[in-house]
A and B are shown apart, each in its own frame.
Chain A
Amino acid sequence: MIRRRLLIAAATLVSGLVALALLPIELISRAPVYRNWLSQRAANALRELVGQGGTGGLGTAARNAGLTPDQALGKLMSRGSHAAFLMNLSDRGLLRSYLDERQRDDFATGRVDYLEGWLLSETEICIAALLGD
C-alpha cells in the first residue's frame, strides 16, 4: 500500500515538473524574459520613456492574461515596418508621438481591453507586458 502511494506521489511530482518545463519561461519568471535583442531594445527605450516608476502591477496582469514580452513586441511591430519601429525607438519625441497615434487608433478601431479594471489600448497593454512591473 505504502509503495503504491509513493509511486503515485512520484508520478504526480514528475508530471508537475514536466508541465512546468513545458510552460514558456516568460510566463513563469517574475522578471520579463526577452528572447530577442529587439524586445530588449524596445523595453529599454520604453522604460526610459515611462521612467522608473514601473507599471503599477499592469505588467504582471498583462502576463497573467497570457501575453509574453515577445508576443507584445510582435503586436507593437505589426503595424508598419521594422525599420520604422526601430527609428521610433531611437528618439524619445518620435516614440511618444508614435505611441500617442497608436493609442488613438486602438481606441478608434476597438483594439482595447480591460486590465486591472482600466480600459486600455492594445498598445498600452503591450508596453505593460514588455516592461513587467
Chain B
Amino acid sequence: MAFIFSLLISFLTGSALVDRLLSDKDGKTPLALRLFLGLGLGWGFSSALLFVWLLTIGRFHKSYLLLELLLCLFFVTLSAVKKERRPKNLEPKVPLAPPSGFSRITAVGFYLLLTGGILILVLLSILYPHGNWDAWAIWNNRARFIFRAAADWQEAFNPLLGWSHPDYPLLLPLSIARCWFYLGEEKLWVPSAMALLFTLITTGMVVSSLSLIISRSQGYLAGIILLGTPFYLIHGASQYADIPLAFYFLSGIVLLSLSNQRSSNGCGGSILAGLMIGFSAWTKNEGLMLAALIPLSLLIKAAFTHRWKLPGKSCTFFLIGVAPALAVLLYQKIQLAPANDLLVLARPAQLAANLADAERVIQILIRFFKSAFYFGQWPIPLAPFLILYALVARLSDQASKAHIFPFVLIFLQTGGYFLVFLLTPHNLTWHLDTSLDRLFLQLFPSLLFAIFSVLKTPEEILLCLRRHSNLISLSLSWIIVFRLDMFHLLGKNL
C-alpha cells in the first residue's frame, strides 16, 4: 500500500507538471502521455528532492514524506487553477485518428506481445530478485547504503567502493531508497518493481507518442518490435539503469518533436524536454552527452529547415529545463563522488596514440556494424528487416525536413560513443563487449520512434499500393526476410 502511495505521489506531481507545461496553449494533454511522462518525471523530481533533503537535513525523517505530499498538492492545485482559465475546445493540431481495422489487428498483436513480455519480466524478477551484476554491484548497493546508513549515507561514495563507480548518478538508487523509506523497511521486490515499471512506461511512451503524432497502428507496430526484442526484455528485468535512461532519452526526443508539431511556441514542451534530458543525466553519465548534443542537433535541424529563430528559443527553454537536474548532478560529482574511472585512468600520451590508431578505428567500426546488425537477439537480424520494411513502406507524406532532428541526435550520440571507445583507457575488446549492446539499447526506443514517425502507416500503405509493383516488392521483401532467417540460422549452426 505504501509503495502504491509513493507511486501515486510521484505520478500526481509529475503529471501535474506535465499538464502545466504541455497544455499551456494547446488544450488537454492526452491521458496516456500524461501517465507515462508523469510517472517518469515524478520519479526524477522526487529523487532529486530526496537528494537535496539528505544533503541539507543530513538523514531521512518522516517529515520528508509530508514535504513530498505538500509539494504534490501544490503542483496539482497549480495545474487545476490553470485549467479553469484555459479556453475550452482547443484540440491538438494533429487529432488522434479513430481506430481502423488495421489498428485493431495491430492492437491484438501488441497486447499479445505485451502479455508475453510481462510474463518474461515477472519470471526473471522472481528468479533473479537482486538483478544482474551491475544492478546489485552498483545501483541496488548504493540504494542500500542510502537506506541503511541513515546519517552516514555519504559512505556510499567512499573510495573503498571505487569498483562500484561511486560517481554514477543517483536517480535509480534514490528512487529505490525512497520507496523503502515509504515502506519503512527494505523490501527485495522494490528494485524489481521499479525495473518492470520503467520497462512498461518506456513501451507505453513509444506506443502513445506515435499514436498521438502518426496513428494508433503505427504506435502498435513500433510497440510490437520493441516487445519482440529479447534483449530489451532481459534488460527490462536486469535492474540496470539502461532502460530508465532509454525512457528519459525517448521522452526528451518525443517532447522536442511534439513541440515542433503541436505547440505554437513550444516553450512548455522544450522545458519539459529539458527536464527529461536532465533526469537522463541524473540516471547515467550518457545523459550528459545527450544534453550537450541537443542544442547542436537543433542547430543542424534549423540549417535543414532554414528556420533559424526557433533553435535559439527552444535551446533557451531546453536549458531552463535541464538546469535543476544538472545542478544536483554537478553537486554530487564535484562534492561527493570521486572522479570517473575513464578520466582517472586517461593519460594524454595514451589518448593521442589511441586517436591516431587506425586499427582501433576499424575494430570499433566493425564491432558497431556487427552489434547494430544483430541487435536485440531477434530470431532474424532486426536491422535489415527494419530497412526492408522502410523501403516497402516509404516516407510518409507528412514527413518533413524537421523530422531529421531525432535522427541527427541519435547519430551524434552514437558518434559520441564511438569517440569514447576510441579514447578509452580500458581494454578495448572488454569495453566493447561489456557496454556496446547496452549503449545501443539506450537509443533503441528513440530510434524506433524516429523511424516510425516518418514512415507511412499501414493504412496509408494500403491506400498507396499500386496493383503490381508494390505487391511484388512486398512479396520480395517476404522472401528476403525468410532467406535472411535461413542465413542467420545457417551462420549460427556453422
The answer to whether A and B come from one shared complex is no
